Structure 1
Amino acid sequence: MASLLHTWRLSFLLVVALIGKATAAGYSTPVFQASAWQSAFATFYGDETASETMGGACGYGNLFSSGYGTDTAALSTVIFKNGYGCGQCFQLRCANSQWCNKGSPIVTITGTNLCPPNWSQDSNHGGWCNPPRTHFDMAKPAFMKIAQWKGGIVPVSFRSFQGNGYWLLVYVMNVAGGGDIANMWVKGTKTNWISMSHNWGASYQAFATLGGQALSFKLTSYTNHETLIAYNVAPANWQVGMTYSATVNFH
């Protein structure tokens, strides 16, 4: 709608986070920072085809067509983080087990699903994903890159990637007006409006290099088709995982 529908303004929050895949679509030189190695455990689900790992709580659908392939894992609650862990990239290697593959190879996987708690099982005997355990339930082909599948469960060392300069993921909260989102765009101070694709829930992603630029966002409501524009939501020095608030113009 071209005319100004409302003269009042509401605020909403944007969680701006760069959480990386190993390589973003269309790019070959991702930029990221890796955390320190930490300890966890890993199991696998499905078979060698990884057909049972398609879909999942992150809403990526067919993981082959969306670019993730079989190097994926369902994450326990503490690393799933109510969905914020979706799309995050991890490096895993088997550690101190007779079932580890020789040479301690490292596999890079993406979190695409939730491994839910199983309170009917002890956390150390079947309830592998019960809080506060850090656990990766991997697609079988990914698991077999680091360990023999006969092991069932193995201790692992893992580290996460803290960002990818080519992938911006935005989680929107407290949207004014209709409250829901049909479409979303982002604009850096050096770019035009860039269309964002739906990731999961109220999360939208853009494959663009936007570091060092102030970010503006435009949304359309699914219910009432209003357009909401929030200028300069995040400053040019915005940081990974920070939450920013902004006032909204309705058009």
Structure 2
Amino acid sequence: MGFSLKLQYCLVSVMVLLPAVCYSQDYFVKSRATYYGSPDCLGTPSGACGFGEYGKSVNDANVAGVSRLYKNGTGCGACYQVRCTNPQICADNGVNIVVTDYGEGDNTDFILSPRAYARMARPDTAAHLFAYGVVDVEYQRIPCQYGGYKTQVKVHEHSKYPNYLAIVVLYQAGKSEILSVDIWQEDCKEWIGMRRAYGAVFDMANPPSGDISLRFQVRGSAGLTWVQAPNVIPKYWKAGVAYETDIQLY
């Protein structure tokens, strides 16, 4: 987008419980939001999450760049309900967005696509909302829902067969967050961690030959778990192709 979510015992308990409390957010947080310029009102394919064209049109282009909610890329793909707070021009339910980019605005948590920004407004009041430029909002984390889609693993366009493999996960449902990705090394019978290159993109030089199995460390409704996707990427993979898995991350 270009703009450049007994004392020792007590202390330990707070450190352990706080991430769970933050993750299971089911209340609205006050913040601010703005929007970015777009000739077609859609998202941007060059977002920092690395989603490409998916980041432009996913969720009917109701997408956003975020700052602190970006979480060094872990926040990519998260869904939020965002609603502005002016009762004269703002719709009660606001808009549900997907995080596809990193962006910093005027003390804002969200920089929305024009389409998403307009959908916070009541009928016939979108022009008034755009005139503000920056508005007070409240938001909460919600489950992502992709009817008819299972989780997909896309071979990123920067990949170079067979010496460099980069991947990004698409259609990540629920409130899950992918913390890390491992790739199975058949010759040494062990899982090897991929590098988080940037955003939601994980990569590895000299990946294994043959069909590729992955496992994802996921923080979701079941807590911290590992989810495996056997043979998800075929031996003769191609850059830019998305391969459907038999799993769904929640």
TM (norm. structure 1) is 0.49
Q: Select the structure that is richer in helix.
A: 2
The structure, 1 or 2, with the larger RCO (C-alpha pairs under 8 Å, 6+ apart) is: 1
